[in-house]
Amino acid sequence: MTAYDDLFSQINNAVLDLQSAQLQSYDRPLRRLAGLLSHPDLAAANEEITKDIDLDDFLKKSEETQGGMVGSANLLWPEDQKQTLGLTLLLIRSFAENPDLMAQIGHTYYYSGSKIMSGVHSVTGQMIIPFARDYKAYVLSKGSAQPKLVRPLSNRIFIVHGHDEGAREAVARFLLQLGLEPIILHEQANRGRTVIEKVEANGDVSFAVVLLTSDDEGCVKGGTPEPRARQNVLLELGYFIGRLGRENVCALKRGVVEIPSDFAGVVWEPMDAGNGWKHSLGRELQAAGHSIDWNRVMR
């Protein structure tokens, strides 16, 4: 579980508590929610969504929509979703400082009867719950308020390898142990396709494990040969970094292997004789979104 997972879980719990609160107690989850939303890890996102937001002007213009009937007023939410998030965040902060304001907003804009808690619950259901959902999506998408198509995470994992069959089979067995499906290129039918075409044919692969093993030797002209990974392995390493993103590629280095300077930013882990590499690979897979049973990792 990441720090964000825990934080948003607590935010969700505060919203649930607010949803079920009574008149004498709704101020407590309200303050709890406002406090969680002020967490230092959320400061950058909060600053971005509240920038240039005028809550007083928003409320003033919304009040002007009030007609002759109770409940006829409308909150004039902007079209920009980021601005809506910012306004709602500022409202939640104001509610925490003055819980009566939440009841007043509920009575004026979400009228559902004369009881105070009817208004509070209406604000929770129609304003705060959607905010918590969209705010989480905004933060986790690193500042994008626009919806996008997200494909389901595939359990198919590419294994890029050289001549070290032992390393390849050890990684394949480990992935199977985790309930994932290892894809090994040489086991795929050629059908007249090049290696890259075979890679592209497996378009739903979500992660790649690249085995850097000392299969070749090389050096600058006139220099001393040093152990290197095969050229096709390095080519495919670069390909998958570009295709899947650096965070979805894990390189395992076995033995003494020269690492090209251009790949200095790539995370690589030593493939030791023990189980340390399994823990490292499991950690990287989990960070990429895969569910990992750590009891299986340590078998």
- For the chain, list the domains and their CATH numbers: 3-140 (no CATH), 156-297 (3.40.50.450)
Q: Is 86 exposed, middle or buried (0-12, 13-18, 19+ CB in 10 A)?
A: buried
- Tens of pLDDT along 174-226? 999 999 999 887 655 555 566 667 677 766 788 999 888 877 676 677 777 77
H helices of the chain, where?
A: 3-19, 27-37, 43-50, 55-63, 81-97, 99-109, 116-123, 129-140, 165-177, 195-201, 231-244, 276-287, 294-297
Q: Does the pTM of the predicted model rise above 0.75?
A: no
Question: Model confidence over 139-153: pLDDT tens digits?
Answer: 988 766 565 555 567
- The secondary structure of residue 271, as a DSSP letter, is -
